[in-house]
Structure 1
């Protein structure tokens, strides 16, 4: 009897693995058929390359001042995107700003995923913890996201590290709710019940069988949250709560350039376009992944 159950469980697990492998291939095909998502992927790859090779791509020191070359227009000799009011090369600051936005986004989203996934798994799997965890999540939802981040920064202090922490805490409740819903839909399936009948521990069931089946919504959330994290970093830096001068951060560059909007509009427009493109890229890739991971989508 027990041997038959074990064989049945093994066959079910093998079937799940084959289904996952097929799903990965299908997902990539669907994603690549989405032209807008492909454009977004190209933009993200460009940002990643800019972040990695910033020291080689930058034509000038991003924080070095040269007042003799202040407020040069776009396509000036030696300054592709012009200079700011201190004579700093805007192209070099944009390149290094890509590194800051990407690092803060990855750190904040990763921390948010760790907390959100842990809470979501516990709430979805253990009924006794569900009520307590969800009430804490509801309490966090009571605060508008950007205000919650500003409150955390007010407590911790300004700076990019504290911005990453604030955005990660802001990300936890949404992630927890998404993961909890996925766990509730998975934990009563036959192969999970079979594992319990064979005496598998809760930790093994959660980590090896439930969590892998919740990865699709987690991946979509993480991708789209990157856009929110980058935009929030720029917004907080614009308000003076994030990157401090002379750090080449896109939101801080917009804040510094707004006083020169009429005389040197490129100081504001260039970093604004950089933010717009990257946020657009992560959003369309997230939308593409959401559609690609939908089992009801057709891939003709």
Structure 2
């Protein structure tokens, strides 16, 4: 064996000894755009956690003597809105609300989608029934489905979470089903069956862990969709209700003052754009980092 072959073999063994998480992070940091997106996400998380420490004003307290102040005027970093409320305070607390809604709706959607996907992929007799239900949900455009659910349940943040969760289920179910159909044909799964292992054990301990890569990517990119959908529903008056600080609602309030106080619309709009961009590029980076062929390409 040549020295080059020995070196290659040594590197391969070292990679195997590394923890999967460390391998993932090493691959992810090679993608500069994904690192930038991760930085933005970390900032949003810190804003959400330490919101009370980052603001000097109550986000819902009105001061009609200081309406529509420009950026940096009278100690207000990002100005004030048409009710004299501090825009920075509302932006920070809006980050908290967006993150809570996004994480909660994605988790609920994943639980439903993973369950349906595992059942449909593993049990052939359930596949047709479950996937027809999924196809029925896919027949509705996502935002219209969410609007329909909210119209039936009423306008509130809780109902927004429920609507976005239901919207997330069919996409997740289809992805998981495809992964299960591929994994369950592997020889070790057939061996487990022949040894009499219970279906629940095979699904939870052997199939689900091997389906996690696409699930992680879906969850990351779904966060972007959830935050954008929350803002869209609030903009339409179906989500957060006044005086709650929420980015979409802030844009809706500011659109009437676009020419006299453009910061009321631009500030929350830029925040939505940056966060959605961040989750999308991190999702792309994770998809590349979790690709088993990445090491071969490098």
| Bucket of the pairwise TM-score, normalised by the shorter protein | over 0.9
Give the structure-2-normalised TM-score.
Answer: 0.93
Superposed displacement of residue 21, structure 1: 6.0
For residue 165 of structure 1, what is the aligned residue in structure 2? 162
- The question of 1:270 aligning with 2:267 is answered yes
* Long gaps (5+) in structure 2: 1-14
How much has 1:23 moved relative to structure 2? Answer: 4.3
Distance 1:57 1:229, change over 3 A: same
Q: How far did 1:139 drift?
A: 0.4
Cα distance per residue 1:79-133 (max 9 Å; x no partner): 0000000000000000000000000000100010000000000000000000000
Change (3 A) 1:235 1:108: same
Equivalent position to 2:30, from 33, 37, 40: 33
Q: Spell out the pairing of 1:234-253 with structure 2 (5 A cutoff).
A: 234-253=231-250
Q: Which residue of 1 aligns with 2:55?
A: 58
Aligned to 1:119: 116
How far 1:211 moved relative to its partner?
0.3
Correspondence for 1:217 among 205, 209, 214: 214
Q: Does 1:87 align with 2:79?
A: no
Structure 1-normalised TM-score? Answer: 0.92
Give, in whole Å, the separation in 2 of the partners of 1:213 and 1:24: 15
Aligned partner of 1:226 in structure 2 is 223
Q: Which residue of 2 aligns with 1:140?
A: 137
Structure-2 residue corresponding to 1:98: 95
Q: CA RMSD in A?
A: 1.3
The answer for the alignment partner of 2:151 in structure 1 is 154
Q: Number of residue pairs matched?
A: 283
